[in-house]
């Protein structure tokens, strides 16, 4: 037929794959031990160019790997890191031992330095003690028990401080007692009272403050014995303004001890004779002993 050609095989050049222009992936940058944030893979191996076969029909090989991706052209220069380097972080200590303390100071205190410091502290304490002694308040005077209620109305007539001491106003064995143990404070006073029947009574109260309770007890025991003497009251001692008052001759005598205070009482009638151991007068003397502490603590007028 016209235009027909013989069925002959055309000679065509075999296809050739050129991988020389394929650039490998950028080499991974190793940031160092312990800083890797992504897995690192080995770069792909370059394939060698296949030889050109002159045969008409080149052998066909099965392709196992897809063709490598050809990256676009990049300007030559140093490779840029994909990720910035990560600064190592300090991990907390896992030891159970306490953290070491700060290093010792380079300055050491010599023995003379310690001695100087001790002397300074001692001087400060001495000065503080002297200042305290200078400004501290005086201790309050000891207070006795509160005044006791009495059933008679005792009106004070005269009171005198024992400025002469107990020994100079005592007699016999009582005076000898005060020679060894003098009292600390002495008061003598006179009171006037009226009985329910209208009889007027003069009562003497003497207070003797001893150094301690034991000496007060021994004095009280001595005063209660017969023929041992006594501490003279204001009438018996002849004080001023006592000449017109009745004599107190121990006919209604009473004494008692309140801690270290010894109280001595005696009573007599104004307008009639005082019998010995009169019950009414003895009761007055016993009640008057309750005036002991208030009389001892009364400030001299």
Strands (DSSP E) contained in the chain are 155-161, 185-194, 200-209, 253-258, 261-269
The pTM assigned to this predicted structure is: 0.53
Task: Give the pLDDT of the chain (301 residues) as one tens digit per residue.
Answer: 445 455 555 555 555 655 565 555 555 555 555 555 555 555 656 555 555 444 445 444 444 444 444 544 444 555 555 555 555 555 555 555 555 555 555 567 787 777 788 888 888 888 888 776 777 666 555 555 666 788 899 999 999 988 888 999 998 999 999 998 999 999 999 999 999 999 999 999 999 999 999 999 999 999 888 888 889 999 988 877 788 899 888 889 999 998 999 999 999 999 888 888 899 999 999 999 999 999 998 876 6
Contacts of 291 (CB under 8 A, 6+ apart): 147, 150, 154, 189, 191, 205, 263
Q: How far apart are CA 202 and CA 67, in angstroms?
A: 145
Q: Encode 41-77: b = buried (16+ Cβ within 10 Å), e = exposed.
A: eeeeeeeeeeeeeeeeeeeeeeeeeeeeeeeeeeeee
Cα separation, 105 vs 88, in Å, equals 32
Question: 114: helix, coil or strand?
Answer: helix
CA–CA dist 57, 98 (Å, integer): 82
Q: What string of DSSP letters covers 158-226? A: EEEE-TT-SGGGB-HHHHHHHHHS--SEEEEEEEEEE-TTS-EEEEEEEEEE-SSHHHHHHHHHHHTST
Supply φ then ψ for residue 213, to 5 degrees.
Answer: -70, -30
């Amino acid at each position: 037929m016209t235009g027909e050609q013989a069925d002959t095989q055309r000679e065509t050049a075999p296809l050739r794959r050129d991988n020389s222009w394929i650039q490998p992936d950028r080499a991974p940058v190793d940031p160092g031990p312990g800083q890797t944030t992504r897995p690192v893979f080995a770069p792909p191996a370059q394939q060698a160019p296949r030889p050109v076969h002159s045969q008409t029909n080149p052998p066909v090989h099965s392709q196992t790997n897809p063709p490598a991706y050809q990256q676009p052209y990049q300007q030559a220069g140093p490779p840029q890191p994909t990720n910035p380097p990560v600064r190592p972080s300090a991990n907390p200590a896992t030891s159970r031992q306490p953290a070491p303390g700060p290093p010792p100071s380079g300055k050491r205190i010599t023995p003379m330095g310690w001695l100087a410091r001790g002397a300074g502290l001692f001087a400060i304490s001495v000065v503080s003690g002297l200042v305290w002694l200078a400004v501290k308040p005086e201790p309050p005077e000891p207070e006795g028990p509160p005044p006791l209620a009495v059933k008679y109305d005792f009106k004070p007539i005269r009171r005198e401080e024992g400025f002469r001491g107990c020994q100079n106003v005592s007699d016999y064995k009582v005076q000898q007692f005060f020679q060894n143990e003098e009292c600390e404070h002495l008061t003598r006073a006179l009171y006037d009272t009226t009985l329910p029947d209208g009889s007027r009574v003069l009562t003497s109260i003497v207070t003797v403050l001893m150094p301690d309770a034991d000496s007060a007890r021994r004095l009280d025991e001595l005063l209660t014995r017969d023929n041992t003497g006594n501490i003279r009251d204001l009438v018996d001692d002849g004080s001023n303004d006592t000449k017109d008052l009745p004599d107190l001759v121990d006919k209604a005598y009473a004494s008692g001890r309140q801690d270290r205070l010894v109280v001595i009482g005696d009573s007599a009638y104004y307008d009639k004779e005082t019998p010995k151991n009169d019950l009414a007068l003895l009761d007055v003397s016993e009640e008057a002993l309750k005036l002991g502490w208030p009389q001892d603590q009364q400030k001299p007028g």
